[in-house]
Structure 1
């Protein structure tokens, strides 16, 4: 037998793919690669597969091989979506590390990482059954529906609902299925849609100077058609350059002009003088182009750049400790430029969307359209464009918030984490419960790049690592130019109340400065880290407090919306006119939030232009940008806000910053309270006096001006705060000397939740010891969304314990509880590096 004949009898190789499915399951699933797809499919590409009986989902190829699964029959991959992978090898490696480090499933990482626009959806549709032969069984309405289905080949549930003018058509469709008149199927469609612009242009035979002149003469009898042509030539001067005709003109130009006749344009199209065509355009093409500028560094900034570069020769991470207003951004820009010039990519992380508004304008002046922007206020389609733009090489540099760590870079040379101390970098729900700063460090390591952490008030962990040589440490302790640090005034609210000088929440000193600023056309920022009008309402007679039905918290009063809201589960209620408990009309608001401050300011200063910036006023896509732009152009006199106004914003005309309720931040029952209060107070104070020659004032209202932390804030004594806190952390075994893992046990029954938490804690204590396992204890808010919570806190020493082995043990014990048949429906949330 010849070798050729023998090869005909050889068995063809069957390929299988291990897929990451965006679902919370521990294992990858193996699917069979159809014939014809085996030459095209690649690791990192998206595919469509059936999961379960009726579910069609998007998965990502993790591995290709020839080993069929042992314990189940492999289903076929339904469709290959990408000719080239949309998920890189670096990303897959990072996703695996995150799943392992944060004790979650790989599918959970993928689900958070992929923009929704890259996930396929399926929609139920109804089609005619060709074997149907009993039309006499149908009602009149069903006959009409069936005729429409046959006319359009298939209809969705929504289309049938519109046809019969009913909201719920499940019963009708069920009847048609039962009579075997229709068949249900899932239509799979991709969410991402490119932006398409319809354009018009002259037909090619008219795209010359001679042809245009002849056309003008021919259209003299038709002035409206001639006007259409003239408008086109005003935008596209074909007479001067016929090549311009190829790009055409947006059709919307004509629809926006009321003086032009649409019917005249349609006539020119029918005559073949004009033609229409479509082009795919970027959704970011409308962003205003900024004139290029050159950044010139001061001597201190040049020194900082040199020190960072020197450290990068031997260290993976450098911490830049620069006080507020020291000019860290210019240092970042210089380093970004150098990284891009070397041919590598750069990621610049910011903690808040609000910050991107101001910093992006500055960065676009330097980097133009080489820079992409990525944050959660973008639409699904906009995020997909940035994702694909990175893969196609359009964006070498991206500015983004926490979720930007998931982007498909392939040659990252530098990651900058600005305001690295910010809690906004930590994701709490859903899994993975990651910290973007720590993921960024690992991400840079996987790419062979470097990480620069920047902050005026570094986290204790980062500063500890820098002081102990693990990170490089560069410090900028002078403000940029001739700007001076602000002057602090601690206002004793206890004394003011005793002397009856307080006007509700405003001290007499703060009122004086507000009046002075308004008279002198200078701006003020007022900081209260609590939104809403009032934290709760209470009956003066019986002390009843409005509480959430689903959570053990009071409902926050929002005056503008005239409702009570739960900030945990979103529950809303009308404001009661009388007390539901005793019937009294003496129901009053207690405490104050940003909305109440704004309301009282309007009463005290009716002529002032006042704006509020918190979660409630910035829900719309461009709300941040609008508020910041109005404040920057001095259309706002007083800006009231929560923590989002404290982070890195730069306004030259702000001379006064007022801080309410500092005591609540300092005395919060949490081991990081002092550190975070110092950071918050210092950061918001840094918004004042950023212009040379105009020192700012920071007014802190407190019932205890002598407390040590406030004195350190006034003296800008970060080192004093650090040394006091680090001594206490070491004494009580808290980070950076230990790693913390929090386990939160949840159940709708209080006793079941308590019992499961106790059993889990006992299992952990038996192996790890009581000194390492604290709890179980109910958290500050014991019930959320009708689930009772118990926390177990695990402390693992950095030096003495194998962290990976400890996490494996913890995962095993959690699995024991989840599989215990006496503890049905128990949930356990694992939060690694929980604070």
Structure 2
């Protein structure tokens, strides 16, 4: 053996990412038959532990065996070419380091479920079985069935044996060495298959086909089937069209045609069936439209953005609501796609995609891919593979779109960049899609455009410090004016008996006038359900969740109480469980109650509710928005969903409830959130110059300074005041924040772990940078008690070094004997 041959025989190893919360990569041996085939970014099947079979991602290949353990062999290779790009592997590493989580957790969230592997236990006959006399008559019958079918799943075996608990039977057969249990590993993604039909090659000939038509005159039902085919595929005139055939479903949909006649023609060899793989996304055969013409102000904004991109990689586009930011985006996208680069357009909620996608599809056609959680696993896999193959050069999606396999990004647009929906809360990684987009752009040399009518304090601060470019669009499109905003004093109205439930008489008059003018109204209440909670008038009992430290929300339509944290549901009690009183009543109101009360006040009005409860299905958003756009809905009641980018011509009135609770929520971002929400919701009104918009805000305090800023659309004034307060109290953007939360089923253990965590971190970072431990607003979720430790430190400190200290301290706490079972969750840059 020469030196070259010896080198070729050197065993190769692969470090792989496993979709489990472990702090490192694992090394597996590459079998000889796969040597030279496996590439970083490909998926492989590996055994982890004694029983688990997992999908892993190859991170790197090398010749070094692990020192701490014996490397197992890779079981199977799933991809000939990488499914994950090198940019994505770099991104996974960055996210795990920055957001203090494990790289396996990043992989688990990044890959669509359809690209992961499911393993299903199957039972197979043992070829070495030598003692059939040990089997009972029933077992012998089952073994024969297994031999005949080669293998059976547990479910198939249970059905054949006609028993529910099949595990006892399998255990007996394994003990007698009659069967072997193995894991059949399957990829979850399945392509969409359409069965088609065409004439066999002999009858595709025009002469033979003419003769066939004549012969079938004796069997008219068979002739009808053939003529139906020829109506769709004119094979006599254009024989080449026969190769494409038509879907077999064409015949099954036509009730006048005989299914048996079709099957007879197939048996005779006149027709043949074949399968093709098709896209799950409907092909757009419409004419591609031109990008919309821009107003003079929009043209100036576009030119300003292009110029700013020459000096800055990131530009903040501050345009008032209704200014036409989307039209400017479209022109930018067109320029980038024409250069051959890819575009990612991020939106915070699926609700936004419904209107935007329709507009962008008309302009960019089949270049556009859509990616969000309401899609099925298979649909998301198709988009993923479409980006890899180059089919989709442009993707519109929610936060998880940052994980798609782009390798040539030219532009990332983050629309409504201020939205907290861009932040992932649970499970890890608790990443922020806006900030992650900035990192991706830096990796690939792309530009980032952050768009908002109410930018986040951090983004606007970076723009004022010239870290970002800043372009402003301060007028509405088409000469439309910003809506007039009126504050209604509901405290005064209650004193004067001017309230009807949660509606002031003035608001009811406004709503009535809107209906008379055949215009539309949006009513905003940032709380779903019928009522926040129910209570007993006699003893004060409040319905609470058994697993979480929160009250249960009353949902009238389903007649149940729900926990919005853990999903627990229970029926509404007829009497008080504490004292037996029948005086159980609801307190407060949510979107469901507003909808009900509206229907009482305006029985003839067509009312819809848009919240998490009414939009769970894949098409619910789209249908609701289409109905509203067509004018088939008069009033739309909703939560935050109605505030985000929706554009309706007929909306002339917006009503806002419970603004005070938003403003005075105990959080340092409460004022910012309230200003953004109120401004965004108000911006849905009067978006056309021929329809003046009005906004009514019901409040207990008409003198609140924040409401004055909202009325005058004074973002700069609000920003200046808020920034000074943040500076004074040492909050972002002047600091970085990391929140560490201990979780345990015993309150004392969770608290002791948090105290120990705070003490160790104080010793490392100093008392000024460590706050707590403190109990959060919700002290218990899913039967686990929570305690927070807050870290605040200067932006100029070495962030990587601080995080390394945090990792060491967290590991020390969770490995302490007294804190067994404690989990510590890190939330970097909480919002």
Same fold (TM over 0.5): yes
Matches of 1:7 and 1:348 in 2, distance apart? 50
Against the structure 1 CA distance between its residues 207 and 591, is the aligned structure 2 distance closer, same or farther, given a 3 Å change threshold? Answer: same
Matches of 2:165 and 2:708 in 1, distance apart? 64
Following TM superposition, by how much is the alpha carbon of 1:145 offset from its aligned partner in structure 2, in angstroms? 2.2
Following TM superposition, by how much is the alpha carbon of 1:290 offset from its aligned partner in structure 2, in angstroms? 5.9
- Report Cα offsets for 1:340-391 as digits up to 9, x if no partner: 0111000000000010011000000110001100000111110110111111
Matches of 1:506 and 1:64 in 2, distance apart? 67
* Aligned-pair Cα RMSD in Å: 1.3
Aligned ranges 1:377-526 → 2 under 5 Å: 377-526=374-523
Matches of 2:280 and 2:6 in 1, distance apart? 54
Mind listing any 5+ residue stretches in structure 2 that lack a counterpart?
A: none
Matches of 1:588 and 1:314 in 2, distance apart? 61
Q: In the alignment, is the contact (CA less than 8 A) between 2:284 and 2:366 conserved in 1? A: no
Following TM superposition, by how much is the alpha carbon of 1:708 offset from its aligned partner in structure 2, in angstroms? 0.5
Residue among 88, 92, 95 paired with 1:95: 92
Query: Greater CA deviation, 371-380 or 513-522?
Result: 513-522
Q: Would you say 1:783 and 2:766 are equivalent positions? A: no
Matches of 1:541 and 1:165 in 2, distance apart? 55
Q: In the alignment, is the contact (CA less than 8 A) between 2:739 and 2:791 conserved in 1? A: yes
The equivalent of 2:566 in structure 1 is 569
- Report Cα offsets for 1:101-120 as digits up to 9, x if no partner: 11111111111101111111
The equivalent of 2:684 in structure 1 is 687
The equivalent of 2:818 in structure 1 is 822
Matches of 1:284 and 1:336 in 2, distance apart? 22
Following TM superposition, by how much is the alpha carbon of 1:707 offset from its aligned partner in structure 2, in angstroms? 0.3
The equivalent of 1:809 in structure 2 is 805
The equivalent of 1:555 in structure 2 is 552
Residue among 746, 763, 767 paired with 2:760: 763
Q: Would you say 1:132 and 2:144 are equivalent positions? A: no
SS of structure 2 residue aligned to 1:36: helix
Q: In the alignment, is the contact (CA less than 8 A) between 1:742 and 1:794 conserved in 2? A: yes
Q: In the alignment, is the contact (CA less than 8 A) between 1:796 and 1:803 conserved in 2? A: no
SS of structure 2 residue aligned to 1:771: helix
Residue among 153, 171, 174 paired with 2:171: 174
- Report Cα offsets for 1:727-752 as digits up to 9, x if no partner: 00000010000010000001110111
Query: Greater CA deviation, 131-140 or 635-644?
Result: 131-140
Q: Would you say 1:259 and 2:256 are equivalent positions? A: yes
Following TM superposition, by how much is the alpha carbon of 1:9 offset from its aligned partner in structure 2, in angstroms? 7.1
Matches of 2:5 and 2:472 in 1, distance apart? 72
Q: In the alignment, is the contact (CA less than 8 A) between 1:46 and 1:60 conserved in 2? A: yes
Q: Would you say 1:579 and 2:576 are equivalent positions? A: yes
Matches of 1:673 and 1:36 in 2, distance apart? 60
The equivalent of 1:160 in structure 2 is 157
- Report Cα offsets for 1:618-673 as digits up to 9, x if no partner: 11111111111111111111111110110000000011111111111001000000
Q: Would you say 1:213 and 2:210 are equivalent positions? A: yes
The equivalent of 1:61 in structure 2 is 58
Residue among 697, 700, 717 paired with 2:697: 700
- Report Cα offsets for 1:14-70 as digits up to 9, x if no partner: 111111111111111111111121121111111111111011111111111111111
SS of structure 1 residue aligned to 2:57: strand
Residue among 67, 70, 75 paired with 1:73: 70
Following TM superposition, by how much is the alpha carbon of 1:10 offset from its aligned partner in structure 2, in angstroms? 7.3
Against the structure 1 CA distance between its residues 267 and 698, is the aligned structure 2 distance closer, same or farther, given a 3 Å change threshold? Answer: same
Following TM superposition, by how much is the alpha carbon of 1:289 offset from its aligned partner in structure 2, in angstroms? 4.1
Q: In the alignment, is the contact (CA less than 8 A) between 2:524 and 2:639 conserved in 1? A: yes
Against the structure 1 CA distance between its residues 309 and 6, is the aligned structure 2 distance closer, same or farther, given a 3 Å change threshold? Answer: closer
Against the structure 1 CA distance between its residues 129 and 328, is the aligned structure 2 distance closer, same or farther, given a 3 Å change threshold? Answer: same
Matches of 1:282 and 1:741 in 2, distance apart? 43
The equivalent of 2:103 in structure 1 is 106
The equivalent of 1:668 in structure 2 is 665
SS of structure 2 residue aligned to 1:828: strand
Q: In the alignment, is the contact (CA less than 8 A) between 1:290 and 1:364 conserved in 2? A: no
Matches of 1:210 and 1:446 in 2, distance apart? 63
The equivalent of 1:277 in structure 2 is 274
SS of structure 2 residue aligned to 1:452: strand
Q: In the alignment, is the contact (CA less than 8 A) between 1:289 and 1:364 conserved in 2? A: no
Q: In the alignment, is the contact (CA less than 8 A) between 2:291 and 2:331 conserved in 1? A: no
Matches of 2:284 and 2:135 in 1, distance apart? 56
SS of structure 1 residue aligned to 2:46: strand
Matches of 1:519 and 1:386 in 2, distance apart? 46
The equivalent of 2:290 in structure 1 is 293
SS of structure 1 residue aligned to 2:767: coil
Q: In the alignment, is the contact (CA less than 8 A) between 1:482 and 1:693 conserved in 2? A: no
Matches of 2:136 and 2:514 in 1, distance apart? 76
Matches of 1:140 and 1:491 in 2, distance apart? 83
- Report Cα offsets for 1:163-202 as digits up to 9, x if no partner: 2333332222122222222111111111110000000011
SS of structure 2 residue aligned to 1:677: helix
Matches of 1:430 and 1:108 in 2, distance apart? 8
Against the structure 1 CA distance between its residues 7 and 711, is the aligned structure 2 distance closer, same or farther, given a 3 Å change threshold? Answer: closer
SS of structure 2 residue aligned to 1:41: coil
Residue among 599, 603, 627 paired with 1:602: 599
Mind listing any 5+ residue stretches in structure 1 that lack a counterpart?
A: none
Matches of 2:390 and 2:178 in 1, distance apart? 52
Residue among 178, 191, 195 paired with 2:188: 191
Matches of 1:143 and 1:475 in 2, distance apart? 80
- Report Cα offsets for 1:557-583 as digits up to 9, x if no partner: 111111101000111111000000000
Matches of 2:512 and 2:384 in 1, distance apart? 49
Following TM superposition, by how much is the alpha carbon of 1:147 offset from its aligned partner in structure 2, in angstroms? 2.2
The equivalent of 2:16 in structure 1 is 19
Matches of 1:9 and 1:93 in 2, distance apart? 33
Matches of 2:159 and 2:816 in 1, distance apart? 48
The equivalent of 1:330 in structure 2 is 327
How many correspondences in the alignment? 831
Q: In the alignment, is the contact (CA less than 8 A) between 1:484 and 1:693 conserved in 2? A: no
Q: In the alignment, is the contact (CA less than 8 A) between 2:764 and 2:805 conserved in 1? A: no
- Report Cα offsets for 1:120-175 as digits up to 9, x if no partner: 11111111122333334333432332222111111111112222333332222122
Following TM superposition, by how much is the alpha carbon of 1:233 offset from its aligned partner in structure 2, in angstroms? 1.4
Following TM superposition, by how much is the alpha carbon of 1:602 offset from its aligned partner in structure 2, in angstroms? 1.6
Against the structure 1 CA distance between its residues 504 and 6, is the aligned structure 2 distance closer, same or farther, given a 3 Å change threshold? Answer: closer
The equivalent of 1:637 in structure 2 is 634
Against the structure 1 CA distance between its residues 204 and 10, is the aligned structure 2 distance closer, same or farther, given a 3 Å change threshold? Answer: closer
Q: In the alignment, is the contact (CA less than 8 A) between 1:206 and 1:212 conserved in 2? A: yes
Query: Greater CA deviation, 283-292 or 33-42?
Result: 283-292
Following TM superposition, by how much is the alpha carbon of 1:293 offset from its aligned partner in structure 2, in angstroms? 3.1
SS of structure 2 residue aligned to 1:162: helix
SS of structure 1 residue aligned to 2:411: strand
Q: In the alignment, is the contact (CA less than 8 A) between 2:317 and 2:450 conserved in 1? A: yes
Q: In the alignment, is the contact (CA less than 8 A) between 2:288 and 2:364 conserved in 1? A: no
